[in-house]
Structures are given as structure tokens and as C-alpha cells.
Amino acid sequence: MRDIRVVIIAVFALLAIASAFFLTRLRFTFDFEQFFPRGDKDLEIFREFIASFETDDNFLLVAVRRDEGAFDQTFLEQFHDFSLKARQLPNVLESQSLTQIGYPLKTPFGFTTIPAIHIDDPSRYAGERERILRDDRFVNNLISEDGKTLVVLLKTINSIDLDQARVLMEGLDALITRYNFEEYHYLGRAYFQTELVAMQKREIVVSAGVAGVLVSLIMFWIFRRARGIAIALVSIGLGMLLFMGLLGATGRPLNAMAALYPVLMIIVGTSDVIHIMSKYIDELRKGKGQQEAIQVTIKEIGLATLLTSITTAIGFATLLTSRVDPIRDFGLNAAAGVIVAYITVIFFTTSLLSYFKADQLMKIGKSIAFWENSMLRSYRFTLSKGNAIKWGALFMLVVCGIGISRITTNYGIIDNLPRGEKITEDFTFFEKELTGFRPMELAVYTQGDYQVNDYAVIREMDKIEGYLRQFPSLQAIGSITTLYKSINQAFNNNREDAFVVTDDEGQFNRYRRLSSQLPKFDPNILVSNDGKKARITSRIKDVGADTIKAMGLQIDTWINNNIDSDVIKVNRTGTGVIIDKNAEYIRRSLLQGLGIAVLIVSVLMAFLFQNWRILIIALVPNIFPLLLAGALIGYLGIELEAGVSIVFAVIFGIAVDDTIHFLSKYKLALNKGLEREEAIKITFVETGKAIVLTSIILFFGFLVMLFSIHPPSVVVGLLISLTLLSALISDLLLIPVMIRWMQPAQQEAIQKGEKMVTG
């Protein structure tokens, strides 16, 4: 036995060293593409769309504000210089701003341009400002409605990755600090990637640190002995180290949900440690030797803990039914983490424990009597208030049902941005002062022999754009029609009212022949090489997924009823549209995944207890926390989105643990020949303490996430904490009542139980 302990401890020491090395290889990632639902037909349309054109999020916007107004010569000169130099930044293909734009004008010698702003002639500023602020092409896109903010639009390389984004943002930060701008803001894929990955790293450090301090305090409160505290903390820390090392060794990147891992590993490891250590100390206090106590602990608690680890892992693994990669990755990683924590405790912790006696691990005193008395009072309450507990459960079912009916999925990008950070301030600024971030594209497919540049096609596309402009939240609308409107304006002395598609088809055909002469216009991003496909671009405010979906259906209906399908067919697409489909998949995969989890756990329960009544008793108390979580989401007005949806898998996976520990002890007591009531009483006294302690740790452990600056993490922490507390109450109150209801005892056994209560 002693030799085996030494070998086990040595093996884990080597694994710890290897894990510390692999920590240096951990990778972080954040891409909106991660949230695209796999296997969706609209995703295939989108991928075909960007293959013909380019990605719709390959931009980085820089907004520069001057409170006294942008039309100041010094400010405009600095802004223009910045917009030109920004072209030279790494991974930037081109830049565009009002100071670079000119109106086309037809002369006898061909096309020329008139600057939108004559920077060197302030006398023209007033007139140019008025004209620009009446032009839909520029307002909310390159200039704010109040004329105080100008925007540089940087076109970046397609699908810019994290390292490329970092290089670009470092260069941009260095460049913009050379100028005396009062205020500036960023918006775009590269900015989101760098800032949100930085947030992930901070979240992991903070959550691990706070959770570690919390667990240390709880362990001190429980054990009051240096050795007991040290063994518990080393075991928990080792489990987390091995898990993070495993992620580094297997090359699995940490995504938007990575901040949950430290909290999850600490509280799962803590739960396992408390159950094992409590049982070992109890066996020592009964007079058993250290070796025998460890053997009994592994035999009785080790099996129950194995089952709880498996059921928890199953709860997380059900997230693999999701089509959204970050959720799938979280489910798989969390399931692996639960198993790692179990292996660490069952081998490493038990090996260490076997060297120590009870009084070396825990301060034996009044706390033991306190817990026994508390559990006995709980037992008596369930025996005397059985009917009240049943009616209370029915009342909670009704309350939860009402709350669940209020759940919505109208979430927005802002709901996932960190509180109090510049990235959120910048996003809010663009939403309020300019156009938003969320792209919405219309893919246009010409029919028959039509080409995009045919008059009939352009007219149909112009009708669509006119309709889109009726939606205030849709801005920055553009397509190939802009080219022909600009030429018509050029032929009409640059009059504002001439920026339209001409009604004269013959004139349009002349414009088409001249279109190649228009300077600084690249039609390839708006028309496919074969001339059979076009795009209508736009950006939509962050008004919520459900609102955008309703708007999209309205647009689709209008197009079906008003556009000639013999000329063009249209599909709504874009990054924002694809991400918003998560709402539908979340609801569907949520029910599907939970159904699978309940089925698998039921099979395990049936195998463990071999009694269908016990199976029902085990499942019912764990349905209540799920219902409560749904009710809280509804009552608190929390939007159900990808990050929040994982709470159900976490709750079910963890809540069922205490149920298994309770019923396992109850079954062992019955197998020893005890009557029903005596078995329930023993279960309360010997297992109740560990269940309460682990639930307290779970409650405060997930509350650690309230320190997060990531809103979904805060919501997840709050929901899991509250519902796991309800799971404890459900276990201690409902299980005994259901046992008495579904497993009627002989009358004399009942009388015996009543004697125990009064005695």
C-alpha cells in the first residue's frame, strides 16, 4: 500500500510538471465565425456569397470627433493626413474618408472629380457641410448627423486572424496618438478580436484568483487544520493545472467561454474533495485504521463520486448537440475537466489522506455536533411537513411555468461586450452617432440571360434599396446602382436631385459604356466576375436578434411580392444574419441536449439502483432547478443566447450529483438491513453535511463570476448559483417525501420512524 501511494504521488508530480510546460502553449481565439451554426443552408449560401465577393466584416472604422464641429481647417488637415497614412498600416488594403472623396463631373474632356470638401478653402465649408449632411451616402456612414464626427473606413484583408489583428491595432494605436484628436473610437473585426481575447485572459486570471481565495476560506472554515486545508487546496489546484495543461497539450484553443473553466474546475474538484475527506474522517472517527478507512471511502464514496462525475460530464457533453462551435467546445472541454478532477481526487487525494489521522485533518469539536443536530432537524421537518412540501412543489411548478413563458431571444451584440471597457464605449458610440457594426447583405442572382449591369436588373435592385431605406435601423446601404447614379449626377452638372437611376434605358446604356472611365471605383466587390451575381450591402443597428429576424421576414415578403423573379432572385445573408440564427438552434438543441442527458442519466440511475421508483425519485428533484433557471431568465428579462444557454447543461450535470450521493447512501443503509425511516435518518446525518457543504461551495463558487466584466458570465454565475441552491433544497426536502410516497413502508416501520423523531 505504501509503495503504491509513493508511485501515485510521483506520477502526479510528473504530470504537474508536464502540465506547467503545456500551459505556455495555450491558445486564445475569438471569431464571429465560431458562432455560425454548422450545417445550416443559409450558412452555405453565405459562404458561396463571400467566395464570389469578399467577407462582409473586413472593415475597421475609426471615428474622430470634434465637439465644435468637424469643419475646421486644422482638424480636417490632420484628419486627412491620418486617413492617408492609415492606408500603410499592416493588413490594411485601402482607406476611405470624406476628405478623399470627390463628386464625379462630366466635361468635354471626360470625367473629373470635385472634392466633397475643399480643405484648403474654408469659405466653402458651410455649403459643403449642408450638402454632405443631406447625402444618404455619407450621413451615419462617413459623417455623423450633427457634423461633429468623421470616419475613416479601413478595408482589411479577408478573415483577418488574431495575430494579424494585433499587429494592425498596435500600428493604429501608435499612428493615431501622433494627432491631437479630442476623441476617437474604433469598430470592426480586428478590434473585437484583440480586445475580447485580452478580456478572456483577464477573466481567467481574476476568476481563478477569486475562486481560489474563496475556496481557501471555506476549507479553513471546514477543517481548521493546516494539513487538511493544504491537502484539499493542493488537490483542487492540481486538478485545474492538469486540465489546463491538457488543453495546451491537445492544442484546443480557449474561446469566449474560457473564463468559466477555472471556476468550474475549482468547484467540481472541491465537491469531490469534500465528499472523500468527510467520509474518510467519519470512518476514522468510528475507530477504523487509516488503510481500512481509505478502502471504505473509495468503495462507498468513490463509486458514488464516479457516478456523479459521469453524470456531470454527460450534462456538459450534451452541449455537443449544438451547432455552435464555442458551445460544443465548452461542453467537450468541461466534460474532460470533470473526469480529470475525479481522477486527481480518487488517486492523488486518497494517497495523501492515508498518511494522516482524523485530528490531523480536521479540528474535532462542536461543529460535528452542530451538523448532526442540523441534519436531524431537517429530517424531522420532512417527516412532519410532508404535505406542505408537496403543495409547495406544485406552487413552484406554476410559478416556474409562468416565468418560462416570458423567455425571449432578442439579444444583441452589446449584451456580450465587457462592462466599463473602451470596446463597449466605442460600440455604443457608433450605435448612437453613426451606423452600427452588424452587417446585413442581400445576394442578388440574375436570371436567364440577364447580367448585373443590365438596365432591368439595376432597376430592380434600386427598388429594393429604396424599400430598405424605409427602415431607420438599416444604414450604409450600397450596391452597383451607386455607380450609375453617380454617372447620371455627373451628366447633370452634379445636381443633388440627379443622384438617381435614369428612367431612360437608352441613356443608361450610354452610361454603362462610360462606367469604366469613372475614377477610383472598384466594382468587383459589388459584382461577381461572371456578372451574374451582385450584392446590396448595409449595416443594421444592434436592435436585437428577434427584432432583426422580424424585419428580415418583412423584407423577404416585400421582395417576393414586388420584385420580378424573372429578372433577379434575392437571398438575405451576411454575418449578422447567420449569427442571429443561433437563437433558433439554441432553443432546439437545448431541448434535444437535455432530453439526451436525462435519458443517459436515467439509464445510469437504473443500473445503479435497479428500481424504477428510485429512478423517478432521482429525476424529479433535478427537474425543479432547470425549471427555476428558465423562470429566472423569463422574470429577470434575460435574453436567451449562446452564452446563457449553457446554464441548463451545467445545472443538470452538477445538481444530480447530490441526488446520487443521497440515494447511494440510502441504498447502502437499506442493504445493511435498516428500515426505511432509519435509512433516511442515517443518510441525512452522514451524507447531508457533505451535500450542504458542497452546495454552499457551488453557490459561492459560481457567484465569483459576479466579478466578471463579461455580462453573459455574470448572468451564468448568478443563474447557476441560485438554481443549485434550489437543487439542495429540492434534494433535502423532496427526496425523503417522495421516498415515503413511492416506497410505502410497513406500518410498524412507520411507527419506528415516529419513535425516532420523538426520541
Residue 184 contacts by C-beta under 8 Å, 6 or more apart in sequence? 62, 63, 64, 65, 176
What DSSP string describes 357-394?
-HHHHS--SHHHHHHHHHHHHHHHHHHHSHHHHHHHHH
Name residue 693's amino acid: L
Q: Where are the domains of the chain?
A: 1-30+224-364, 58-194, 374-405+581-759, 425-575
Higher pLDDT, 722 or 743: 722
Name residue 29's amino acid: T
Q: Which of 478, 275, 268, 277 is nearest to 360 (CA)?
A: 277
pTM of the entire predicted model: 0.78
Higher pLDDT, 370 or 244: 244
φ/ψ of 394, rounded to 5, equals -65, -40
pLDDT at 744: 65
* 705 vs 545: CA distance, rounded Å: 25
Read off the pLDDT band of 746 (50, 70, 90): very low
Read off the pLDDT band of 48 (50, 70, 90): confident
* 649 vs 147: CA distance, rounded Å: 50
Residue 674 contacts by C-beta under 8 Å, 6 or more apart in sequence? 682
Tens digit of pLDDT for each residue in 591-648? 666 677 677 777 777 777 777 788 888 888 888 888 888 899 999 888 877 667 778 8
Q: Are residues 600 and 652 in contact, defined by beta-carbon separation less than 8 angstroms? A: no
Name residue 509's amino acid: N
Cell numbers standing for residue 169: 491595432
Tens digit of pLDDT for each residue in 463-497? 999 999 999 888 889 899 988 998 898 888 888 88
Q: What is the average pLDDT across 132-142?
A: 90
Q: Are residues 353 and 361 in contact, defined by beta-carbon separation less than 8 angstroms? A: yes
CA atoms lying within 13 Å on the CB side of residue 404: 14
- Stated length of the chain: 759
Name residue 182's amino acid: E
What DSSP string describes 284-348?
HHTT--HHHHHHHHIIIIIHHHHHHHHHHHHHHHGGGG-SSHHHHHHHHHHHHHHHHHHHIIIII
* 113 vs 95: CA distance, rounded Å: 18
φ/ψ of 93, rounded to 5, equals -90, -40
pLDDT at 373: 85
Three-state secondary structure readout of 466-478 = HHHCCCCCEEEEE
CATH of 1-30+224-364, one of 3.90.1150.10, 2.30.30.830, 1.20.1640.10, 1.10.645.10: 1.20.1640.10
Q: Which of 707, 622, 617 is nearest to 663 (CA)?
A: 617
pLDDT at 35: 61
Cell numbers standing for residue 183: 476623441
Query: C-alpha distances in angstroms, 419 versus 708, 712, 714?
Result: 9, 11, 10
The CATH number of the structural domain formed by 374-405+581-759 is 1.20.1640.10
552-560: long-range contacts (C-beta < 8 A, 24 or more apart)?
A: 552/440, 552/577, 555/467, 555/468, 558/467, 559/464
* 279 vs 446: CA distance, rounded Å: 73
Cβ atoms < 10 Å from Cβ of 369: 9
Tens digit of pLDDT for each residue in 111-120? 778 899 999 9
Tens digit of pLDDT for each residue in 311-344? 888 878 878 877 777 778 888 898 999 999 999 9
Same fold, 1-30+224-364 and 374-405+581-759: yes
* 462 vs 477: CA distance, rounded Å: 11
3-state helix, strand, coil in the chain (%, to 5): 70, 10, 25
Name residue 708's amino acid: S
Q: Are residues 528 and 52 in contact, defined by beta-carbon separation less than 8 angstroms? A: yes
Higher pLDDT, 177 or 40: 177
Q: Where are the beta strands (DSSP E) in 438-486?
A: 438-439, 441-446, 474-478
Query: C-alpha distances in angstroms, 227 versus 127, 239, 285, 341?
Result: 80, 18, 17, 20
* 548 vs 544: CA distance, rounded Å: 6
Cell numbers standing for residue 727: 437543487
Three-state secondary structure readout of 45-71 = HHHHHHHHCCCCCCEEEEEEECCCCCC
Q: What is the average pLDDT across 728-734?
A: 89
pLDDT at 501: 94
User: Does residue 758 surpass a pLDDT of 80?
Assistant: no
563-567: long-range contacts (C-beta < 8 A, 24 or more apart)?
A: 563/460, 563/463, 563/464, 564/456, 564/460, 565/447, 566/447, 566/448, 567/446, 567/447, 567/450, 567/456, 567/457, 567/460
Tens digit of pLDDT for each residue in 656-692? 888 888 888 888 888 888 888 899 998 888 888 778 8
pLDDT at 381: 92
Angle at 410 between CA 406 and CA 413, to 5 degrees: 140
Cell numbers standing for residue 580: 442571429
User: Does residue 520 surpass a pLDDT of 60?
Assistant: no
pLDDT at 749: 41
Q: Are residues 120 and 217 in contact, defined by beta-carbon separation less than 8 angstroms? A: no
* 24 vs 245: CA distance, rounded Å: 9
* 179 vs 74: CA distance, rounded Å: 11
Residue 441 contacts by C-beta under 8 Å, 6 or more apart in sequence? 49, 56, 535, 536, 537, 538, 572, 573, 574, 577
**DSSP-derived secondary structure letter, 252:** P
